[in-house]
Structure 1
Amino acid sequence: MSVIDPVTNTVTGSPITIGNGPSGVAVSPVTGLVFVTNFDSNTVSVIDPTTNTVTGSPITVGTAPTGVAVNPVTGEVYVTNFAGDTVSVIS
């Protein structure tokens, strides 16, 4: 995953190493953390945008996670798992 400066449209810093097959991205308005679904790893990576680093280990969710959304009030993260026909909740 790369961070892009919206003013210059250039990549800033080094790429951030996350899981395999990143597909969905959501930012928590509660914590400011970035959640990335990793389709091929069946995980979600959590990135701290103030340091552009992954926090902790990837969170295991269902099979083939794709979409991700954050509840703006509670901060709970909802992940749709394409191949598992399930939704995982991270709280």
Structure 2
Amino acid sequence: MDTALFDTIFRDQNGEVVIAQPPNLTLSVWIGASLLQLVLTSEPINLGLELVAFVAIVIWALQEFFEGANYFRRGLGLVVFLVAIAHQIHSFLVG
């Protein structure tokens, strides 16, 4: 891969390569709500946790898309956003 292309995609404004970062608040909320869904399976609680998880991952994805450290992170935000929306549409259509 051309060095200039690599730098453009993966380096942030400080010249550091950024692929993964520690979870921020919205990603932590998504992780927590998703894990709690596995434990708390009663219908109203599980549905509420599903909503919290969905909103949190959409907010995280939009934050990454608009404010990501580099083009890779912005692209990751776009992909996660599209997958989250597609999953919700699929769940709605299937039942």
Q: TM-score, normalised by structure 2?
A: 0.26
Which structure's relative contact order is higher, taking Cα pairs within 8 Å and 6+ residues apart?
Answer: 2
The higher radius of gyration belongs to 2
Q: TM-score, normalised by structure 1?
A: 0.26
Say which structure is richer in strand.
1
Say which structure is richer in helix.
2
